[in-house]
A and B are shown apart, each in its own frame.
Chain A
Amino acid sequence: MIELENVAYSYGGDSLFAGLSLQLAPGSFQFLTGPSGAGKTTLLKLCYGDLLATSGHVTLFGKDAAGLTRDDVALVRRRIGVVHQDCQFLDHLPLSENVALPLQVSGRSKEAQDNLGDLLGWVGLSRQAAQTPPQLSGGERQRAALARAVITSPDVIVADEPTGNVDWEMSQRLLTLLIELNRMGKTVLIATHDLNLIRFAKSQVVANVLRIRGGQLETGVTL
């Protein structure tokens, strides 16, 4: 599904990591941990085609990421729901339209009527549906970003610190949503520092833990 083979990445200076390989099997549930600045966000961006590897091969849905046209990248993004660490929105539109945006840009606006209400209810944003993103708290924005990432029911969900700004109860709630989606067959990759979150997930599903540290990726980390 998503495959990184012997990948290196640098932002211009020294390589952040090199010789890194990773396979996201369909239907798997993975956590990515590691110290701040280790390259978690960078690795996730390679996985959804926002960055291109400096060397090595990245394969997205069977296609070489380096050879994707701009339209191909757009189509890949539709199959991967992404929660960004810095949640960006269209600040002039109400929350409900922001959450429905992925449906809108792929010509599926009609589906929004079915899912939007339930989804906003689940992430606890029903009351805020008409507010614009600048009027929301950090945690509310994060929940909105998660709702936006999953509204199209994508094959893969990539979440970068999706619970960084919310309390433990809401964290569990958000994670439960991702676990439910995983049970429906979606592939989930979550970057987080929160070990409690990983433990909670491990009590519900088979979750693999990756750790990136000092340019190396360890798989099958035990807590």
Chain B
Amino acid sequence: MNPRVTQILGLLQGDREADRAVPPTGFTARLTVFTAAAMAFLAVFALALSVATGRLADRWSAELARTATLRISAPAGEGEAQVRAALQVLETTPGVASARALTPEEQAVLLEPWFGPDLPLETLPIPRLIEVTADADGYDATGLRARLQAEVPAAVLDDHTRWREPLVDAANRLRTLGWVALLLIGGAVAAMITLAAQSALSANAQVIRVMRLVGARDAYIARAFVRRFTLRAGLGALVGTILGLLAVAALPDGDDGGFLTGLGFSGAGWFLPLFIPPLAAVVAFLATRAAALRTLRTQA
């Protein structure tokens, strides 16, 4: 066998021996496993939230950045000419992939939800709309505005930044909240494990005293506790993560880009939660070790 593997196996073997010195405690053990599982379950959702909102923020800002609307509010009769002039300007603007005037029928469809199907559109001073799509490099919005000002004064360019920004901002903030939730979950796990370890240590004061009298070092005694809490937290987190993943996978999914239906992982993102159990084990390891060494130092 690989000498490294042998070494690690040897380490685990030694730990199991130290582990035996501390009597098993069924109830706290089950509580630790349960709490770790619950926290891991929540962590999966926090992670899903972060990942999904991050994805939404990216998609919204990318999609919205590429489209813009040109609105022309010309007096009746002049509309057609102004639209033609504006299209001409747009066609000669670098960075504009396509520009297309919406037909009156299309505009009628847009307004239908508000005014009903029988709207006599011709009799109303409805502005004309031109849909502008940028190419990958994008166009210079300020320069375009200046040219339109000169050549088609009735045209207003709306590149959606006004309503895009708060949305993207909200998505980014949700993502941050997701990460904060993950950190809080990690902190709660650390606190819970510390409490559990401390109660185990004080319940086993006699064991510690005997071990010490026969020459056990603090590190050896600590290991007995550290090993079991690390294993319990890791095991609990594994169960919680699996349940969390199943729950996320079972969420209704739709590809309409909505927020609620987009909550989940995609592609390689499904592997992210697999980091939760080892992370929980690391947190438990550090928390128990700190608690054990601190308690052993303060006990005679």
Q: Which residues in A have some Cβ–Cβ distance to B below 8 Å?
A: 50, 70-71, 74-78, 82, 84, 88-93, 97, 101-102, 104-107, 109, 148
Contacts and interface: CB of A to CB of B under 8 A. Distances in A.
Contacts of B207: 90
B209 A78 contact: no
A74 B297 CA distance: 13
Given A88-B210, A109-B17, 12 more contacts: A70-B217, A70-B297, A74-B216, A74-B218, A76-B215, A77-B214, A88-B206, A89-B210, A93-B21, A97-B20, A101-B210, A101-B214
Contacts, number: 58
A88 B297 CA distance: 21
A77 B214 CA distance: 6
A82 B213 contact: yes
A78 B206 contact: no
B244 to A, nearest CB: 36
A92 B209 CA distance: 15
B13 to A, nearest CB: 9
A50 B215 contact: no
Contacts of B116: none
A74 B212 CA distance: 7
A71 B293 CA distance: 12
Nearest to A74: B217
Interface of B: 14, 17-18, 20-21, 23, 206-207, 209-218, 220, 296-297
A199 to B, nearest CB: 31
8 contacts: A70-B218, A75-B215, A91-B206, A93-B21, A101-B211, A102-B215, A105-B214, A105-B217
Contacts of B220: 105
Closest 4 A-B residue pairs measured CB to CB? A105-B216, A78-B215, A77-B215, A92-B23
Contacts of A50: 213
Contacts of B296: 70
Contacts of B18: 104-105
Main SS of chain A's interface residues? helix
Given A88-B209, A88-B210, A107-B14, A71 B21 contact: no
A135 to B, nearest CB: 15
A75 B216 CA distance: 8
Given A74-B212, A77-B213, A88-B209, A93 B20 contact: yes
Given A88-B206, A88-B209, A88-B210, A105 B23 contact: no
A106 B214 CA distance: 9
Nearest to A87: B210
Given A77-B213, A101-B211, A71 B218 contact: yes
Most B CB contacts (10 A, CB to CB) among A89, A90, A92 go to: A90
A109 B216 CA distance: 13
A102 B214 CA distance: 5
Contacts of A71: 217-218
A77 B218 CA distance: 13
A37 B207 CA distance: 27
A74 B210 contact: no
Contacts of A148: 214
B8 to A, nearest CB: 16
A106 B213 contact: no
A90 B209 CA distance: 10
Contacts of B212: 74, 77
B213 to A, nearest CB: 6
B297 A105 contact: no
B148 to A, nearest CB: 80
A74 B215 contact: yes
Contacts of B17: 104, 109
Contacts of B214: 77, 101-102, 105, 148
